[in-house]
Chains A and B, each alone.
Chain A
Amino acid sequence: MTKVAARTWTEIKPARKAVIPEGLWLRCPGCSQMVYRKQMESNLHCCPECQHHFRVGAAERIRQLADEGSFEPLFTNLSPTDPLKFKDVKTYQDRLVAEQAKSREADACKAGTCFIKGRPALVCVLDLSFMMGSMGSVVGEIVTRSIEAATERDLPLVIVSGSGGARMQEAGLSLMQMAKSSAALARFDEAGGLFISVLTDPTTGGVTASFAMLGDVILAEPKALIGFAGPRVIQQTIRQELPEGFQRSEYLLEAGMIDRVVARPQLRSEIARLIDYTGKA
């Protein structure tokens, strides 16, 4: 296993250029203030003024969660193929090449073992910066192998989701990843494993409708969009204004769908505390 834990990940491109343009300063979508990029980045990618949570890539997320130098990557030898020879206005093959060149990653998921405040854990993070964190065969396989590894090694499992859902370009095979990962969680559950599911902005579609909503404990970052259908689809269906704050973390908390809304600076200690309470340390 190669040790790459000490790498820095500032080269990771953010998910949306519109939100984080290149340059030293950027406008915060939360408070509309101009904020100094370096300051935002050193604040766990949160706005120093209003604590707006900017989207972060998988590598940065792992850097934030894991004790320094403790992350050991797993399943880095999997890469996507184009089983359906899918073509829309572009071929899937071309999209993959472009996404891989842009992100320097094989696909939208990173996993490995690490320590979180001294507690060993298996972490698996979906990466929004790669095809909107969508789940095709590779993401489904890494998530499933992570669950299986956590089962075998009796490790607490933390999956951080951020995803547009199942990847259309792998169609039916993407759909099957939902069943595959959920079935693996049944076994993890039977083995008495602890699965902490962390939902970030946005988590929708087939990811929400499979492993992401199956956490023994479900945490969500503030104001994250979380749902099955996207708000636009719902609006087109019901032709009504959507309620204030609809499908945001706080709304889900009120609806009884998640356990806690946790701000990014507290995430590590909240996870550590849950590991302790369940006796999984």
Chain B
Amino acid sequence: MAAFYQLEFEKPILEIEREIETLEARLAGREPADAAPDAQPLSPDQALRRVETLRAQREQTLRDVYTRLTAWETVRVARHPKRPQTRDYIELMCKDFCELHGDRRFGDDPAMVCGFGRIGPHRCLLVGHQKGRTTQEKLACHFGCAHPEGYRKALLKMQLAEKYRVPIVTFVDTPGAYPGVGAEQRGQAEAIAVNLREMSRLHTPIVSIVIGEGGSGGALGIAVADRVAMLTHAWYSVISPEGCAAILWKQANEQTNTAAAKALKLTARDNLELGIIDDVIEEPIGGAHRDPAGAARNLESWIISALADLKQQDPASLVERRYQRFRRLGQYIETAPPVETLG
């Protein structure tokens, strides 16, 4: 097992996997370099049976661990370096992706990927945050933090899609919009605000899926949609747990991050309960990073059925329903209006 990004709660799983590897290596007639200490010398028959038992055990442990993730553990899974990103899903779902670049004003932000593609029977415009896989790509993408030109590029392409009544699919995966000098100078806030206003009135179906991180306005900037879903181990909230901990607890550490993540109600289930999202899309057991193709299949079938449904609505009622979807969000106490006092 490569020692990448070991999540503390995955330790029991890693131990089982190591024993499986040791046994399999011995069965293949090799002595593993990194033998598990408790792997008994077994006959080939015994070893095969043991591997089978261990595999079942691994499944069960994965299921147990991943159904009981805390909010903070969910955030860690959502940030897993092997977790599929926008470009991975596009590659897994679309055969003929036609990327479209540039905002026609300033530049081409690699942290925002846009282009036409086909998902099942639907021609669509895909828009998504890209975090980057290699160090070079990560730096170019600012780890998934888009600049104003990224948001403006997204809007430009979405308006193009609207012109031809092509439905829009967005993948949200960002810790937040980029906080930097150039971003502020070029109007980060304005770029996001304009996207919120314009997406609300696009006369074409829009579906959004939070595939990893849904950090604040930077996430919402491409997520004003008719249907919003989250993958099981994604998170979506107004601020990252660390940001929240630093402000409200005055320090971000393991303990305060855990508390902040819980308080922010950022998991898929919490967001579903709050009415912020419409659906939770199941990830394969043990998370999308263990089975990107499986995650892509679930994502794909959700998109296909959501778009089939939305395409039947006429554009005006689509926009009206999208407006009402966001209009009713919020909880407050409303008392009877004050009565005019006489005299």
Contact = CB atoms under 8 A, between A and B. Distances in A.
B276 A172 contact: yes
A168 B264 CA distance: 8
Contacts of B119: none
A260 interface: no
The interface size bin for chain A is: 35 or more
Given A2-B341, A186-B200, A257-B187, A77 B336 contact: yes
Interface string A202-225: 000110111111100000000000
Interface stretch (B176-184, B281-289, B302-310): B176-184
Contacts of B183: 228-229
A171 interface: yes
Nearest to B248: A88
Contacts of B217: 166, 175, 178, 205-206, 209-210, 228
B263 A246 contact: no
A262 B28 CA distance: 79
Interface in B287-343: 322-323, 326-327, 329-338, 340-341
Interface in B163-192: 177-181, 183-190, 192
A227 B184 contact: yes
Contacts of A137: 330-332
A200 interface: no
Nearest to A148: B327
A40 B270 CA distance: 48
B185 to A, nearest CB: 5
A168 B239 CA distance: 7
Q: Which of A189, A206, A209, A227 has the most CB of B within 10 A?
A: A209
Q: Which of B181, B224, B259 has the most CB of A within 10 A?
A: B181
The 3 closest A-B pairs by CB, nearest first: A229-B179, A183-B200, A137-B330
19 contacts: A1-B338, A88-B263, A136-B330, A172-B265, A179-B196, A180-B329, A183-B322, A183-B323, A183-B327, A184-B327, A186-B197, A209-B196, A209-B217, A213-B189, A227-B188, A229-B179, A234-B179, A255-B186, A255-B187
Interface of B: 177-181, 183-190, 192-194, 196-198, 200-201, 216-217, 220-221, 224, 236-239, 243-244, 247-249, 259-260, 263-266, 270-271, 274, 276, 322-323, 326-327, 329-338, 340-341
